[in-house]
């Protein structure tokens, strides 16, 4: 690194400009990573926190719209409960509704219909305030509902139906689905709402045997044979992670941000490669002198890559620090933004790694530098 450090000191303006570009890319990567994590949490955090291994939907329903179109029955639930590897199975209802708060304010809710005694019902350690799911008209809501001014004891009224639901508990942390706050509601109440029944109306008996999906939990150290269960129950089962695609807008949002991040990584590698290509051409004579004095190609390549690594690591760390600082300000806004260590670490490694790939492609020119150039062989 002797030559590398001297060159970094000598041409600090040019390397500073290069580092500034990498730092800006790092800032953009942090912001995009935060937006991606924030959108994922805002879209499927309610699903992610369910103790579910897989969901089974009606076999004729497309996965990308399964939570809004699928209908399964209690008979299918019984078929799944008998499958090997299934520790517990429960009906699970999912529906987005518009409602009004106690003062007439608009409230959007993602109703999760669950049997109060099932494994998908909120547990006591998840309830931050109030109590768990028990009363027929009681709902347990996400902590983020407090942003709308609602609290335990408040009543929300479902639009067009007039069904009144009372908040009996508040969950710890964010529980959202499709960018809407989750409200756990007893399955029977959810079935009446899903059937479009107004208070006091008769509900067709079959409605109490229906739900959106069947939630499955695998036994300890066991795997569920989803194909066998589908064949027995006439369903289409997918893992919990795969079911995220059924959340409104989830696939489109994540794919868009992932594509933008991919282009940023590619741009960073190309910019770094272009810079070191020009830099290698400019110092061709100096490299030839070093070769003529006995420096091996391997030494010069390692020196150049070390130089690139120093610029990339320093610029990436600086850019990440600025990005995290800016992102901390965004977390206090209504924007769905969340900084998570693992995605940021992966982004930093990719940024440095791909930058080194671009630099390696550029410094390959060193191997073709003729030491006779330094001795006047081309004069």
> DSSP labels for 236-261?
EEEEHHHHGGGSTTHHHHHHHHHHHH
First to last CA, the chain: 31
The answer to whether 40 touches 336, Cβ cutoff 8 Å, is: no
CA distance 128 to 32: 31
Q: Which two tokens stand for residue 377?
A: 């062989």
User: Please, what is the angle between helix 341-363 and helix 250-282, to 10°?
Assistant: 30
Q: How many helices (H) and strands (E) does the chain have?
A: 11, 13
CA distance 144 to 171: 9
CA distances from residue 300 to 240, 297, 311, 361, 366 in whole angstroms, order as listed: 51, 5, 17, 14, 7
The answer to whether 7 touches 276, Cβ cutoff 8 Å, is: no
Q: Please name the residue that has the structure tokens 């756990």.
A: 184
Phi first, then psi: give them for residue 7, nearest 5 degrees. Answer: -70, -40
The answer to whether 122 touches 139, Cβ cutoff 8 Å, is: no
pLDDT at 1: 57
- Give which of 86, 115, 91 is closest to 217, Cα–Cα: 86
CA distances from residue 338 to 23, 36, 110, 244 in whole angstroms, order as listed: 20, 8, 21, 18
The answer to whether 64 touches 274, Cβ cutoff 8 Å, is: no
Cα torsion angle, 295, 274, 279, 27, sign: negative
pLDDT at 361: 80
Q: Please name the residue that has the structure tokens 């671009």.
A: 358
Q: Which two tokens stand for residue 305?
A: 């890559």
CA distance 130 to 151: 9
Contacts of 204 (CB under 8 A, 6+ apart): 195
What pTM does this model have? 0.82
pLDDT at 76: 96
pLDDT at 7: 65
Split the chain (379 residues) into runs of 10 and give each run's mean pLDDT. 63 80 90 88 92 94 88 95 94 95 92 95 90 91 87 93 94 91 95 90 90 95 92 95 88 86 85 80 73 73 81 92 89 80 90 85 68 57
CA distances from residue 336 to 18, 24, 33, 46 in whole angstroms, order as listed: 32, 22, 11, 15
- Give which of 139, 105, 108, 106 is closest to 121, Cα–Cα: 139
**DSSP code at position 109:** E
CA distance 119 to 216: 9
Residue 21 in 3-state DSSP? helix
pLDDT at 367: 62
pLDDT at 216: 96
User: Which neighbouring-strand residues pair with 236?
Assistant: 57
Total residues belonging to the chain:
379
pLDDT at 369: 63
């Amino acid at each position: 690194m002797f030559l590398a450090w001297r060159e970094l000191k000598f041409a600090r303006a040019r390397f500073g400009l290069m580092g500034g570009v990498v730092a800006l890319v790092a800032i953009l990567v942090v912001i995009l990573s935060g937006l991606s994590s924030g959108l994922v949490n805002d879209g499927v955090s309610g699903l992610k926190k369910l103790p579910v291994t897989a969901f089974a939907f009606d076999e004729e329903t497309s996965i990308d719209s399964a939570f809004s179109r699928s209908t399964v029955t209690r008979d299918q639930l019984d078929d799944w409960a008998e499958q090997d590897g299934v520790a517990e199975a429960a009906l699970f209802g999912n529906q987005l509704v518009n409602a009004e708060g106690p003062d007439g304010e608009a409230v959007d809710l993602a109703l999760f219909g669950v049997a109060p005694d099932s494994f998908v019902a909120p547990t006591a350690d998840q309830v931050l305030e109030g109590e768990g799911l028990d009363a027929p008209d009681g709902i347990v809501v996400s902590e983020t509902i407090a942003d709308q001014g609602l609290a335990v004891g408040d009543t929300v009224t479902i639009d067009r139906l007039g069904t009144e639901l009372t908040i009996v508990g508040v969950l710890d942390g964010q529980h959202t689905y499709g960018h809407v706050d989750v409200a756990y509601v007893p399955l029977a109440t959810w079935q009446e709402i899903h059937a479009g029944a107004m208070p006091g109306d008769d509900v067709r008996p079959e409605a109490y045997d229906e739900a959106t999906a069947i939630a499955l939990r695998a036994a300890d150290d066991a795997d569920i044979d989803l194909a066998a269960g589908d064949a027995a129950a006439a369903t289409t089962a997918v893992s919990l992670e795969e079911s995220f695609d059924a959340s409104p807008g989830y696939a489109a949002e994540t794919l868009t941000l992932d594509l933008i991040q991919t282009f940023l990584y590619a741009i960073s590698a190309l910019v770094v490669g272009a810079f070191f290509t020009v830099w290698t051409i400019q110092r061709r004579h100096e490299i030839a002198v070093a070769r003529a004095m006995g420096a091996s190609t391997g030494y010069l390549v390692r020196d150049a890559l070390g130089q690139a690594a120093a610029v990339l690591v320093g610029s990436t760390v600086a850019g990440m620090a600025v990005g995290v600082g800016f992102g901390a300000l965004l977390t206090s806004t209504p924007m769905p933004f969340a900084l998570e260590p693992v995605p940021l670490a992966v982004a930093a490694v990719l940024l440095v790694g791909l930058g080194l790939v671009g630099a390696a492609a550029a410094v390959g020119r060193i191997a073709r530098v003729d030491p006779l150039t330094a001795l006047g062989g081309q004069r």
